[in-house]
Amino acid sequence: MTLSMKDKILKRFLLSSGEPISGQNLAEELGISRTAVWKHLQSLQEEGYTFDTIKKKGYLLRSKPDRVDAASIASLLSTERFGQTIHYYQECATTQTIAHELARTGAPDGTVVIAETQTDGKGRMSRPWESTRGKGIWMTVIIKPDVLPHQAPQFTLVAAVAIVNAMKSLYSNFTPVIKWPNDILINGRKCTGILTEMIAEMDRVQALLIGIGINVNQQQGDFPEELHAIATSLGMEEDRALNRAELVGTILNYLEKYSDLYMAEGFAPIKKLWEEASGTIGKQIKATTLRDVIQGKAIGITESGVLEIQLENGEIRSVYSADIEL
Ligand code: BTN
């Protein structure tokens, strides 16, 4: 990972497990002067980090601002590629556009664009996406798999199982379920949306842009009125404030694991994971596609991630993209 000197210092503190670090040691380790170390610590303090000075021993990180920057995420990663390059923004229009640009100009596989807030967040079907400052995870992961364009939608399902399993590994007060293809719900309310975009030639995917929006620490009042009945946040469900960087790191760990699994063994193991986490299969649903409305029982997803709906007359319809109502 390419970290700035300040981020390298921060990472040392984040990994110091409660042990003070001396300015002298830091300076020697990083090959800079003690004055430079001190200046970086001052600049971290200006950003909201607080340090205790322990006599004769050095500095101890006391508290950190709640941010999803590279240094806060780095200490939680166990990946080789995903999250090894992170572009962090206090604010941007949408992480998708930045990711497009980066993907076109050679960003490596697993590059992440993440922001504290988006002023023009994009949902599916050109809907706006509410991205409250500092309260959620608004990120795009650039994936560069060697697959054909028609396989791209399967990565939405890869992302959905990665996110659900990351949540299950961290939280215990709720069970997230996937609503085909790309919403994650808790008790019927949406906490996460995924928007997958693709840069491709006819026969080759250049990059997939997996846009992930997760409501983490909003309270009811943070949502606009029209979302009150249909949206929720993980913090509201878990009943405590959650560490966003921890969730980002855990998602990236699962995302790399499941992308690699998909590349090694195909869609079958992902389909199994997806069906285990699905809240759609076996239910009566209404699917609104661009062309028509289909009502029936969701009976499964195919090897290629297409949803199959059985109509009352027994006919089975395949749905590639739709809005689903349960
Ligand atoms: C949906 O459910 O409609 C998809 C929502 C996707 C939102 C995320 S937030 C990060 C990325 N940047 C965007 O502008 N959108 C996606």
- What residue spans define the domains of the chain? 5-63, 70-277, 284-325
Separation CA 197–CA 220 (nearest Å): 30
Structural fold of domain 284-325? SH3 type barrels. (2.30.30)
Task: Confirm or reject CATH 3.30.930.10 for domain 70-277, answering yes or no.
Answer: yes
pLDDT tens digits along 283-326: 999 999 989 999 999 999 987 778 999 999 999 999 988 889 88
Task: Give the pLDDT score at 125.
Answer: 86
Query: Which positions of the chain have pLDDT values less than 50?
Result: none
pLDDT tens digits along 114-131: 999 999 999 998 999 999
Is 220 marked as a binding-site residue?
A: no
Task: Give the pLDDT score at 178.
Answer: 95
Centre of ligand 1 to C-alpha 139, Å, is 8
Separation CA 304–CA 274 (nearest Å): 12
Question: Going by CA atoms, what residue is nearest to atom 3 of ligand 1?
Answer: 123
Centre of ligand 1 to C-alpha 140, Å, is 8
pTM of the model: 0.85
Task: Give the pLDDT score at 177.
Answer: 96
Task: Confirm or reject CATH 1.10.10.10 for domain 5-63, answering yes or no.
Answer: yes
Distance of CA 6 to the CA centre of its chain: 25
Pocket of ligand 1 (CB under 6 A): 94-96, 118, 121-124, 127, 129, 138-140, 183, 193-195, 211-213
